[in-house]
Amino acid sequence: MTFLDLIKTRQSDRKYLDKPVEKEKIERCLEAARLAPSATNSQPWEFIVVSNPDLKNKVAHATYSSLIKFNRWVPTAPVLVVLNTWKPELHITLGGILKNRQFNLIDVGIVAEHFCLQAAEEGLGTCMLGWFQTKKIMKLLNIKAPKKPALVITLGYSGHTHIRDKKRKNLDEIRKYM
């Protein structure tokens, strides 16, 4: 499979089979993520892999509420990976202020995509979630400041029977050569 083919297979899965994920596959996803680049090699990330069914369901329930219902499918995922970040060191923070960028959040996006692409290579599905109850997850997983959850990634064997067509802008709409 080419890299472009791999990218085409990765999708945001919102339905999972009731099948455990092998630890070796999770470890390869974490290793792919570990190798991601970051601003000044700061590596401002930490992964908490939640597979204990009771705790996983509590964390899953912190991704929606009675008012916000769109993540109700999350408990079907056998594994949740909470990706924590923190404010970078002073020199990176100052550079971020000068450039009006949050480098640690850029880094989180890169590391999360490395994780998800490796999961696709392993035959696993993922979905990155940015909507969740931060304080509740911090309490459930004993996460202490300055660390803070940036993303929750669902992980498991997809319950979808096919890869959905990607609905993306045409390349001509987003590309310029100068």
In this prediction the pTM is 0.93
What pLDDT does 90 receive? 62
Average pLDDT over residues 109-130: 98
Residue 77 has pLDDT above 80, yes or no: yes
pLDDT (tens digit, 9 = 90+) per residue, 2-27? 999 999 999 999 999 999 999 999 99
Tell me how many helices (H) and strands (E) the chain has: 7, 4
What pLDDT does 10 receive? 96
Confidence at 91, pLDDT banded by 50, 70, 90:
low
pLDDT (tens digit, 9 = 90+) per residue, 21-50? 999 999 999 999 999 999 889 999 999 999
Q: How far apart are CA 125 and CA 24, in angstroms?
A: 15
pLDDT (tens digit, 9 = 90+) per residue, 135-176? 999 999 999 999 999 999 999 999 998 899 889 999 999 999
Helix or strand run (H / E) with residue 150: strand 148-156
Mean pLDDT of the chain: 93
Q: How far apart are CA 152 and CA 155, in angstroms?
A: 10
What pLDDT does 94 receive? 67
More confident residue, 100 or 112: 112
Domains in the chain, please, with CATH?
Answer: 3-162 (3.40.109.10)
Q: How far apart are CA 10 and CA 127, in angstroms?
A: 9
